[in-house]
Chains A and B, each alone.
Chain A
């Protein structure tokens, strides 16, 4: 229990951020029309590509000769970047189709 209290005290700001982001996330997205389920999912999916930021940080923090970290980090960046770029691009493609027929 002491460890838990210590953890809570040390990371209070982070815990606040965590809790409020969860509430914010639910509030922002709570009412989605069916038409947008797929674009919302793939757009959110693209946002989960933020993990690429961690990959970049990992590679930048590594020593130049640490090929284990560099290699895995490179893979991480590639995968995260595919997730982010691909996700946003495909969502845009979908939403473009939705937009087109609004004019009719």
Chain B
């Protein structure tokens, strides 16, 4: 049979695999199979592109195989070694690499065009520039997000005065350069295209710089969508339908997650991108210094928990940082053995990526029916005896409901103060990532338990055991 026919069918089946796989990925029972189907689709497509007959070039199979082998091995090793707490970093790195690949492709094809090695229509030039732009943002933006997530870079380290204005000017310059390159056609030259690429890379950095840690779920979803769109643009350069379909599907899923995350914070995407968090914290009422917090001893906390009827654990990024998910489950088991009803309240933006807490707790073998989402949790909190807040802050801040001056005003939060008692595990009194003071800590029913989440929980475990 004709090889071209076979490889074309391979691409078609590959796209079907993507759609089918994604469909199954959105339901818990079928998700794993869905991921498998999508990966088979990818494998089919890679085989197809290896064997597809071409009109030009020397095939260079040595280079192709070398690249596939090196990339495959590195990717696999990274995936099996990464800790679940470091998932946001891993997703960021993968995102960035996808974007970088699109940038390289577009750059090489533009060079062929400007050196006269191959022809391009105006549309293809525009598409290549789009791939450079979106891919460039996905690349450097994700790398910066990764640095921030690893805490190698303080949130405000590189913010310029009037940063959002700088961003807008940069964006305008990029657009103008792009249009100029497009109009000049072949006369523009590779130098200008390279400048365009550098500006896009700079924009990627500059656009993630002002975004604080608490907004990371939005940024990661958005960059995810960008890396898909850059792949789609690269597909358009070659007129490859398969790449187009795959890229667009990723773009769609990234966009959906971005919107969900923004809704969870009750903020517009623009507001997140401009970096609304962090800057506006001054208007908040109540000076922290004058108020006193009450501490609770480990022994008291252990007794309260052990003899309560229902406990709600509210995990936050602090749980991930301290890698405390397994100790958390230990406490859960101990309490359950005494007939305490233990549930978890998961805020959609708790942690640094969408669903971050769910992954961590799943790793610790917490069954997912015990994880309540925002609405269910708020309903259940009214009849909860004790809430244990583990390394969460902004998602349990009452200021979001009653303080119009607070930068997070309007964000739906977990109303832990409805419960009879609240114990907050915290490293220190430093405000959370949004830099906002939390009135919850000063409430009558709230008690603090200072220290590293994992260490504190471990001590609680031994206290409970000794009861």
Contact = CB atoms under 8 A, between A and B. Distances in A.
From DSSP, what is the main secondary structure of chain A's interface residues?
Answer: helix
A42 B28 CA distance: 15
* Chain A CB within 10 Å, residue with most, of B59, B84, B355: B355
B57 A90 contact: no
Contacts of B21: 43, 47
Chain B interface residue count: which class? 35 or more
B425 interface: no
Interface string B303-322: 00000000000000000000
Contacts of A88: 35, 38-39, 42, 79
B58 A63 contact: yes
A50 B56 CA distance: 22
Which residue of A50, A54, A84, A100 has the most chain B CB atoms within 10 A of its CB atom?
A: A50
Contact of B257 (A11, A40, A83): A40
A68 B362 contact: no
Interface in A29-47: 29-47
Contacts of B355: 34-41
Contact of A21 (B74, B104, B248, B346): B248
A83 B101 contact: yes
A51 B105 contact: yes
Contact of A89 (B63, B75, B95, B102): B75
Interface residues of A, number: 84
Interface in B17-49: 18-19, 21-23, 25-29, 31-32, 34-36, 38-39, 42, 45-46, 49
Interface in B317-339: none
Nearest to A53: B49
Contacts, number: 380
B227 A79 contact: no
Contact of A95 (B32, B74, B224, B354): B32
Interface in B205-263: 220-221, 224, 227-228, 230-231, 234-257, 260
Interface string B323-365: 0000000000000000000000010100001111011001101
Interface in A48-91: 48-64, 68-70, 72-91
A70 B57 CA distance: 11
19 contacts: A34-B348, A34-B355, A34-B358, A36-B28, A39-B359, A41-B257, A43-B34, A53-B46, A53-B240, A54-B102, A56-B50, A79-B71, A82-B71, A84-B75, A88-B42, A89-B76, A90-B90, A97-B84, A98-B31
Interface of B: 18-19, 21-23, 25-29, 31-32, 34-36, 38-39, 42, 45-46, 49-50, 54, 56-61, 63-64, 66-68, 70-72, 74-76, 78-80, 82, 84, 87, 90-91, 94-95, 97-98, 100-102, 104-105, 107-109, 111-112, 122-123, 220-221, 224, 227-228, 230-231, 234-257, 260, 346, 348, 353-356, 358-359, 362-363, 365-368, 371, 373
Interface of A: 3, 7, 10-11, 14, 17-18, 21-22, 24-26, 28-64, 68-70, 72-102, 104
Given A54-B101, A76-B105, 13 more contacts: A17-B241, A28-B23, A29-B253, A34-B371, A36-B28, A38-B356, A45-B98, A50-B246, A51-B98, A51-B243, A75-B67, A82-B97, A84-B42
